[in-house]
Amino acid sequence: MSRTTMRRAASVAAATALLAGSFATGAATASAASILSDLGSTASAPDVPASATVTVDNLVVTKAIVGSNQIAATGQVTYRTTISATSGPDRLITKIVDLNPVALVYVEGSAKVTSWQNGAMTSESVTATASANAGVAVSNAAGWVVSAIGNKTVTFDVTYSVKSVGVSTGIFDSGLAIDVAGLPEQQWPAMGVKFNLVGSVTPSFGSS
């Protein structure tokens, strides 16, 4: 065999090995993707959305879970609601009700509102009260302003812990209600903002 023929044979062998390696890498990637799907990753499980958006008049309302929506039985979940305006007129939000699943318990002192106050966006702790609709509510008689001018939005953060007893693993939805000056009360009992409760839970002996 001539040197030229030997060099060609070596090149073909190297190309074949490289191609085989590419197939092996692709197989490993596909395997990893299937594992993520099995774990319920929101990136590959669109039936477990962590956020949802609705509109009413000139307002856009988005509710989302902060961080992962795969929640351990001993964990916590934080919801963030953001209300913005796409155009005039300016709106005043007088009440926000977070409609949480019955599997959760409000973490005292966690409620916080970020809004336009004294010429700047300001975050402040607010007092949350129990709602008749299995949630917590925050109110402001003067109203939190929402305006398309200057991007004045209202953001409501609230954190819950999983109940210590009486809860089963599974997927839980949540909702929202708001009062807007000049508009009827707006309610979305099941917005599609979901979390997947995973891990061991305590058998039911009543509710906590």
Give the C-alpha separation, 42 to 48, whole Å: 6
Does the residue 33 lie in any domain? yes
Give the C-alpha separation, 78 to 31, whole Å: 32
- 172 contacts 134 by C-beta, under 8 angstroms: no
What are the backbone dihedrals phi and psi of residue 86, each rounded to the nearest 5 degrees, phi first?
Answer: -90, -20
Task: For residues 21 and 66, state if they share a domain.
Answer: no
Does the residue 107 lie in any domain? yes
Q: How confident is the model at residue 105 (pLDDT cuts 50, 70, 90)?
A: very high
Among all chains, which residue has been given the structure tokens 């975050």? 123
Task: For residues 57 and 34, state if they share a domain.
Answer: no
Task: For residues 69 and 33, state if they share a domain.
Answer: no
Task: For residues 102 and 145, state if they share a domain.
Answer: yes
Task: For residues 133 and 179, state if they share a domain.
Answer: yes
Task: For residues 26 and 114, state if they share a domain.
Answer: no
- Based on the structure, what is the number of domains in the chain? 2
Task: For residues 111 and 27, state if they share a domain.
Answer: no
| Residue 7: burial class (beta carbons within 10 Å; 0-12, 13-18, 19+) | exposed
Task: For residues 34 and 106, state if they share a domain.
Answer: no
Mean pLDDT of 138-145: 97
The CATH number that applies at residue 192 is 2.60.40.2260
The predicted-structure confidence for 9-45, as pLDDT tens digits, reads as follows 444 344 333 333 333 333 332 222 222 223 333 433 4
Mean pLDDT of 42-50: 61
- Prior bond of 89 cis (ω within 30°): yes
Task: For residues 186 and 128, state if they share a domain.
Answer: yes
Does the residue 204 lie in any domain? no
Task: For residues 164 and 102, state if they share a domain.
Answer: yes
The predicted-structure confidence for 68-100, as pLDDT tens digits, reads as follows 999 999 999 999 999 999 999 999 999 999 999
Task: For residues 30 and 55, state if they share a domain.
Answer: no
- 133 contacts 188 by C-beta, under 8 angstroms: no
The predicted-structure confidence for 150-180, as pLDDT tens digits, reads as follows 999 999 999 999 998 888 889 999 999 999 9
Specify the pTM: 0.75
Does the residue 45 lie in any domain? no
Give the C-alpha separation, 177 to 179, whole Å: 7
Residue 102, domain extent: 51-198
Task: For residues 28 and 57, state if they share a domain.
Answer: no
Does the residue 208 lie in any domain? no
